[in-house]
Structure 1
Amino acid sequence: MTASPVDPVSAYVGADIASIGPEQRAQIAERWGLDDPPLQRFGTWLSHIARGDLGQSHAFNQPVADVIANKFLTSLALMAVAWCFSGIIGFTLGIVAGVRRGRWADRIITWWAYTLSSAPTFWVGLLLLYVFSVSLQWTPICCAVPVGAVAGEVGLLDRLHHLLLPALTLSLVGIAPVVLHTRQAVAVAMASDYVAFARAQGERTFGLVVHRVLRNAAGPALLLQFTSLGELFGGSVLAEQVFSYPGLGAATTTAALGQDVPLLLAIALFTTVFVYTGNQLGDLLHSWIDPRTRRLEAAR
């Protein structure tokens, strides 16, 4: 950040930069500690973190903790809906593709998953925005609430209406890896000896999937779903920019473009804890669903 050509004071003042004099610029720089060497500024930030103080955001002129708390609540709804949609739809399509491996349903689902995994989040968002908001006019073009409305007076249906398209964008991008991993797990299970033995006893495909395949496929899918929280947050940064959604992703972009180092560092720290927690939950659920992983760890 210190090597960026963006001047933090100019980014903070904006269009009124010509109206302030050198003395005012120097006062702002001194207040933010911009005259100190980068290592000294980083050490100061670490000492404040150790005391539980995340600092003051330059871009929002608020404590960093308040900015993250407010913005994350907005992003949490978006990411939670997208996370649930991508997990449920991806797992269902992966089971269908794995059971029908090599058939037309598998080919269509696999082609669709590979296409989505190659598509950038912002491109998917722009495409959906053009189709549903511009052409069909079914969904709002931007924001988390209607333009000009007070956030506290907006009802649940209006919020869900504005949430729908950004969440659909994130879920479509997140579906692809779940589909592909689940398909592989189901295909391996369907080719196993115990499934062949159950077929010989007359068990039908639906019973095989429910009683013998579903649990084997659920473990890898859950593990992947929880470990994808980092990609989910990264995708939300792009999706929130496309839809002007005022969440933590948009705050990250604002902090980066405005040289708001305290806010950007705190968001990086928060994201690290967020992703680490997701990875740990995924490991715990995977070992609970599939006891074989616990035996492998005990053998090591």
Structure 2
Amino acid sequence: MLNTTDAPEEAAIRPRGSGLAGAVVSRLVRLALLLVAVAVASFALMLGSPVDPVDAYVGADIAAIGPEQREQIAERWGLNDPPAERFGNWLSHVLRGDLGHSHTFNQPVTEVIAGKFLTSLALMAVAWCLSGVIGFGLGLIAGVQRGRLVDRVITWWAYVLASAPTFWVGLLLLYAFSVSLQWTPVCCAVPVGQVASEVGLLDRLHHLLLPAFTLSLVGIAPVVLHTRQAVSVAMASDYVAFARAQGERSTGLVIHRVLRNAAGPALLLQFSSLGELFGGSLLAEHVFSYPGLGAATTAAALGQDVPLLLGIALFTAVFVYTGNQLGDLLHGWLDPRTRRTEAAR
């Protein structure tokens, strides 16, 4: 006879496994479709650029080369081929793991992205942590003190940050702390004239501090405003009113009743802001002459380095998509209602 006592348990376990596998496959399919869309859109933008790649590559020596040399460069890069053929050749190399060769840095695109991203990773990680911690802390205070002077000041400051361009804020901070007060270096990731491998941790942090703080201003304002709203809703809820009726104080209410409910949306927003963080790094690295991936993107755009630009576009899409998925998972872990809603779908 069949043992039917374990059948309900097996039936309950099986959908969970299949559901997890289906969710993973669904996310991978979405990522693949996203990469295809990004590749097609980026390649189309490169074709529509008014800047000639050969002119950008030669630069000031454009008058020194003849038509034959110019034709040889164009032929070597495949610029004379039809757009569909060029895209197909590039895509076939990408599927084999070859993103091409960067003529701006005279290196494979994968090596350029790997090296520059490691430099930018410290900058973006510090800025990301600063924006999350400062934004969540200020939003928590503003939500608890809603309607009071502290709330008005924090909210006004958040709106000012949201409307201030990163480039302009970076120039102001550079003038104030580097030029006038001379507390921070003017540029670069390491002291000028020194080899990067010989620079100590304190010197690196000294050069990193002001660019990271400038970049963190991009993400502080949204976290403040969303956290303030989430805290305000939680403070006005019935379970907080019931806890107050039982004599629980404000500090305990915030820690036990409000903090976790506000942390979920803040984490989701923080992870979803990685795209804005990367976009802000382009401006911050340009202002402070920081040699990271943002500076490499600017150099590739000015030099019409198509393989490097396309490689950075794909890498950025994967980076941002991964951040969004991590934020979604953490949000579901902090807020079980999200998991139940997704399961019901």
1:75 aligns with 2:120: yes
Give the structure 2 partner of residue 114 of structure 1: 159
**Is 1:208 aligned to 2:253, yes or no?**
yes
Deviation at 1:134, TM superposition (A): 1.1
- Aligned letter for 1:99? V
| Whole-angstrom CA distance in 1 between matches of 2:319 and 2:308 | 16
Identity of aligned pairs, percent? Answer: 85
Q: Deviation of residue 257 (structure 1)? A: 1.1
Name the counterpart of 2:24: none
Task: Give yes or no for the alignment of 1:281 onto 2:345.
Answer: no
Quick check: which has more Rg, 1 or 2?
Answer: 2
Partner of residue 29 from structure 1, selected from 74, 77, 80: 74
Partners of 1:21 and 1:158 in 2: CA distance: 48
Question: Which deviates more, 108-117 or 19-28?
Answer: 19-28
Q: What is the alpha-carbon distance in structure 2 between the residues aligned to residue 22 and residue 291 of structure 1?
A: 66
Residue identity opposite 1:32 in structure 2: W
2:41 aligns to what?
none
**Which of 174, 178, 185 pairs up with 2:230?**
185
The equivalent position to 1:160 in structure 2, one of 205, 215, 220, is: 205
Amino acid at match of 2:108: P
Structure 1 unaligned spans of 5+: none
Deviation at 1:152, TM superposition (A): 1.2
| Equivalent in the alignment of 1:240 | 285
CA distance, structure 1, for counterparts of residue 196 and residue 241 of structure 2: 58
1:292 and 2:337 correspond = yes
Among candidates 163, 174, 198, match of residue 129 of structure 1: 174
Q: How far apart are residue 7 of structure 1 and its match?
A: 2.0
Once residues 198 and 72 of structure 2 are traced to their aligned partners in structure 1, the CA distance between those partners, rounded to angstroms, is: 40
- Which secondary structure does the structure 2 equivalent of 1:36 belong to? coil
State whether structure 2 residue 240 is matched by structure 1 residue 174.
no
Q: Which residue, out of 283, 287, 307, partners 1:262? A: 307
Give the CA deviation at 1:20. 2.2
**Range moving further from structure 2, 104-113 or 137-146:** 137-146
The alpha-carbon deviation at position 3 of structure 1 amounts to 2.5
Q: Which residue of 1 aligns with 2:138?
A: 93
User: How many angstroms apart in 2 are the aligned matches of 1:14 and 1:61?
Assistant: 16
Q: Where do 5+ consecutive residues of structure 2 fail to align? A: 1-45
Q: What is the rounded CA distance, in whole Å, between the counterparts of 1:100 and 1:91 in structure 2?
A: 14
Query: Residues of 1 paired with 2:84 and 2:283: CA distance?
Result: 31
Superposition RMSD on alpha carbons, in Å?
A: 1.0
Asked whether the 8 Å contact 2:218–2:276 carries over to 1, the reply is: no
Please state how far the C-alpha of 1:24 moved relative to its aligned partner: 1.7
Partner Cα separation in structure 2 for residue 246 and residue 263 of structure 1: 16
2:52 partner amino acid: D
The amino acid that maps onto 2:256 is H
- Cα deviation for residue 31 of structure 1 reads 0.9
State the 1:4 CA deviation.
Answer: 2.1
Question: What's the counterpart of residue 143 of structure 1?
Answer: 188
Higher deviation after alignment, 131-140 or 8-17: 8-17
Report the Cα offset of residue 201 of structure 1. 1.2
Is 1:17 the equivalent of 2:17?
no
Tell me the matched-pair count.
300
Question: How many angstroms apart in 2 are the aligned matches of 1:159 and 1:31?
Answer: 40
| One-letter amino acid of the structure 2 residue matched with residue 69 of structure 1 | A
TM-score computed with the length of structure 1 as normaliser = 0.98
Cα-to-partner distance string for 1:132-153 (whole Å, 9 max, x where unaligned)? 1111111111111111211111
- Cα deviation code 1:17-53 (max 9, x no counterpart): 2222222221111111111122221111101101111
> Residues 185 and 207 of structure 2 are in contact (CA less than 8 Å); yes or no, is this contact kept in structure 1?
yes
CA-CA distance at 1:15 after TM superposition: 2.1
Instruction: Summarize the alignment of residues 21-60 of structure 1 with structure 2, pairs less than 5 Å apart.
Output: 21-60=66-105
1: distance between equivalents of 2:195 and 2:60?
27
Alpha-carbon shift at residue 173 of structure 1 (Å): 1.9
How far 1:14 moved relative to its partner? 2.0
Per-residue Cα deviation, 1:234-265 (whole angstroms, up to 9, x for no partner): 11011111111111111111111111111001
What SS class does the counterpart of residue 326 from structure 2 fall into? Answer: helix
Partner Cα separation in structure 2 for residue 121 and residue 17 of structure 1: 35
- For 1:151, the aligned partner's letter is A
| Equivalent position amino acid for 1:279 in 2 | N
Could you say which residue in structure 1 is the equivalent of 2:10?
none
Q: Which moved more, 1:42-51 or 1:6-15?
A: 6-15
